[in-house]
Amino acid sequence: MAVRDGSGKFHIDVIDVGQADSILLEGPDGTTMLVDSGHWHDEGEHVLDHLNESEIDHLDYLVATHDDWDHIGGHADIIDEFGSDGIGTVYSPAKEEEGKRSAAVTQYKTALAENGIKENQLHAESAALDLDGVTIDILNPSEEIDSKARNENSVVMQATYGKQSILLAGDIKGKAETQLVEKHAEQLSDVDVLKTAHHGSKFSTGEALLETCEPETVLYSHAEESKHDHPDTETVTRTTQADNAHSTALHGTTSLTFDGQNEIAVEHTNDTDLHDATDFAALIHYHRDNDVALDEIDSIARSDLLASIPYEIVDNASIIEDSQAVQTLQDENEALQDQLDEATEALDAKDDVIDAKDDVIDAKDNIIDEKDQRIEQLQNRLAALEQATKE
Ligand SMILES: [Zn+2]
């Protein structure tokens, strides 16, 4: 029995498991599904701790989106702790990569065998699952994807409760993401919340997926210091088209509650007011450029923040206080005014030269006039003298 049984609402916990994924779904009547189990590195929360704190002693569904250790690393411990009585249906990845099994996969398979638990598979052709009225459609992996890559074959789920919908994109990218958009565009247009694919890596959660889903809220599951620099700065810039962003590294475990109508409530274990998608993007850019901790946002000079974020998102980033933005504009304005003053002075000096030149020309004209007058006078005198001589 879970704490939130019978609330009539659909709950989603994106558990802070560091550089990994683990998402707990609880239907309105308390039916539970755990999608991935993270692992116990990168200072993330151990999934078992979260399940215990949430007083969950039964998982109706345990899903592994794919075989990577940041997604199944906690599976063996959970299976050993809950046992066959505490776990309903187990879904393993539909396609296992050929070659040597990783330690995480071996531990998982051993735990299943020792507890006598059967494996099942989910793929795009599977029937939708039902979680107390929440419909869970499986959109990937598809038989049509000719890829052996584990990430590409991640289980992708869209969970819809009433008017509200969340997409859990696993670690897909490239071909799988392109095909997802091509095949399921209409259904994806219902998405309100998007758990970004592959911890926000550069080549996932592309424009096509974002434009098709138009999510209000994006979720990032990642560690503060991910060795792959997840989420990528280009990806967080792309997702500024959403209103809100929640990150496990910044916000801790993020809990969403769908009422099936219009309201999606969000709670975090870490206390921060920063929820705006553009602000989050600005913060990640600054964090990458300057190696400053994500929770040090309040100590960052706003002018520095302004300087490190891309032009296309700067206008919408509200963490840059207006006064600071105005100050920056005033500084720019003053510099321009100085340039204008200098140019005006130079122009004035040129005018003075022209004036002086005009004076010289005038003086020259006067001399010519005087000369002309003198010549006329002399001619008149000469004419008078000639006349006098004739007489
Ligand atoms: Zn992963």
- Is the pTM higher than 0.85? no
Residue 386 Cα to ligand 1 middle (Å): 120
Q: How far is the CA of 248 from the centre of ligand 1 (A)?
A: 14
The pLDDT of residue 376 is 93
Distance in Å, CA 38 to ligand 1 centroid: 8
**First-to-final CA distance of the chain:** 148
CA–CA dist 46, 41 (Å, integer): 9
Q: Are 207 and 239 in contact (CB under 8 A)?
A: no
pLDDT band at 151 (very low <50, low <70, confident <90, very high): confident
Taking the centre of ligand 1 as the mean of its atom positions, its distance from the CA of residue 219, in whole angstroms, is: 14
What's the CA-to-centroid distance between 323 and ligand 1, angstroms? 41
Of the chain, the percentage scoring pLDDT greater than 90 comes to 70
pLDDT tens sequence across 36-82: 999 866 566 789 999 999 999 999 999 999 999 999 999 999 999 99
Q: Which two tokens stand for residue 241?
A: 């088209």
Sheet holding 59-63, edge to edge: 119-121, 87-92, 59-63, 32-35, 23-26, 10-14, 254-258, 264-268
% helix, strand, coil for the chain, step of 5: 45, 20, 40
Task: Give 66 Cα–ligand 1 centroid separation in angstroms.
Answer: 9
Q: What is the pLDDT of residue 297?
A: 74
User: Ramachandran region of residue 92, left (φ > 0), alpha (ψ -120 to 50) or beta?
Assistant: beta
- 146 pLDDT higher than 70: no
171 C-alpha vs ligand 1 centroid, how far in Å?
6
pLDDT above 60: residue 324 = no
| Cα gap 164→190, rounded to integer Å | 7
Which range, 40-49, 97-106, 188-197, 308-317, is most confident? 188-197
Compute, in angstroms, the gap from residue 71 CA to the centroid of ligand 1: 6
Tokens of 287: 């964090």
Query: How far apart are alpha carbons 118 and 52 in whole angstroms?
Result: 24
Q: 332 versus 385: which is more confidently predicted? A: 385
pLDDT, residue 41, reads: 63
Lowest mean pLDDT among 4-18, 25-39, 136-150, 235-249: 136-150
Q: Give the position of tokens 């990994």.
A: 20
Residues 354-386: tens digit of each pLDDT: 999 999 999 999 999 999 999 999 999 999 999
- Residues recorded for the chain: 391
Q: Which are the contacts of 182, defined by CB distance < 8 A and separation ≥ 6?
A: none
Centre of ligand 1 to C-alpha 269, Å, is 22
Mean pLDDT of all residues in 111-130: 95
Q: Which residue has the tokens 């075989």?
A: 67
Task: Please give the distance, rounded to the nearest whole angstrom, from the Cα atom of residue 68 to the centre of ligand 1.
Answer: 7
- CA distances in angstroms from 186 to 8, 214, 337, listed in the order given: 27, 12, 54
Distance 382 CA to ligand 1 centre (A): 114
In angstroms, what is the span from residue 72 Cα to ligand 1's centroid?
Answer: 10
**Spacing, Cα 133 to ligand 1 middle (Å):** 29
DSSP 55: T
